[in-house]
Amino acid sequence: MKIDFEQILLDKIRDVNSLKIRLQGWQSEGKKVVFTNGVFDLLHIGHLTYLSKAASLGDKLIIGLNADASVKRIKGESRPVNDQNSRAVLLASMFFVDAVTIFNEDDPLNLINDLMPDILVKGADYSIDGIVGAKEVIANGGEVKTIDFISGYSSTSIIEKIRNQIPNQSVK
């Protein structure tokens, strides 16, 4: 029997409506669903550590991924480096990620309200009262948690390092 890994990966990438049905199924089975979101442009050890810690807080991990258009609005015209489909597949390839969904807004409030996870997670650079969707998740009986980052890792700093190592040459 041949395992279709491509289909398994693609099955993890869901639109919000099909993900909502899947999430409700998990919750009806008593599973704790964790949600986090971000750009995840250039994956690095900081992302892997953060996401694995988020996954350990519950039974299922869902990632809300900023669409290319929202990344451009938030990070500037030169971002993202990797398109949303590539970023989604990379995230879905992690064994501890159960689902990825792409959202177009600048923040995930509508997505959080649609999904209503049991646990909402963000980096510890946020205070709980500053986390988008926190009051809604708490009002629904859920929890909000923060996770410390590994210092020295960010996609922005990696991009800057690359730019600084490439001599400024004109395109011919």
Question: Which is nearest to 113 in space by CA: 129, 137, 81, 143?
Answer: 137
Say what the pLDDT of residue 112 is: 98
Residue 169 has pLDDT above 90, yes or no: no
Instruction: Tell me the C-alpha to C-alpha distance, in Å, between residue 122 and each of 36, 54, 78, 171.
Output: 6, 9, 25, 40
**DSSP symbol at 143:** E
Question: Which is nearest to 35 in space by CA: 95, 88, 100, 89?
Answer: 100
The answer for residues whose C-beta is within 8 angstroms of residue 8's C-beta and 6 or more apart is: none
Q: Residue 38, by phi and psi: left (phi above 0), alpha (psi -120 to 50) or beta?
A: left
Better pLDDT: 150 or 114: 114
pLDDT digits (tens, 9 = 90+) for 99-127: 999 999 999 999 999 999 999 999 888 88
Residue 151 has pLDDT above 80, yes or no: no
Say what the pLDDT of residue 40 is: 95
Say what the pLDDT of residue 171 is: 39
Tokens of 114: 């649609």
Mean pLDDT of 34-56: 94
Say what the pLDDT of residue 172 is: 39
Tokens of 140: 């629904």
Say what the pLDDT of residue 54 is: 98
Say what the pLDDT of residue 170 is: 45
Mean pLDDT of 21-31: 97
Domains of the chain: 5-165 (3.40.50.620)
Residue 22 has pLDDT above 70, yes or no: yes
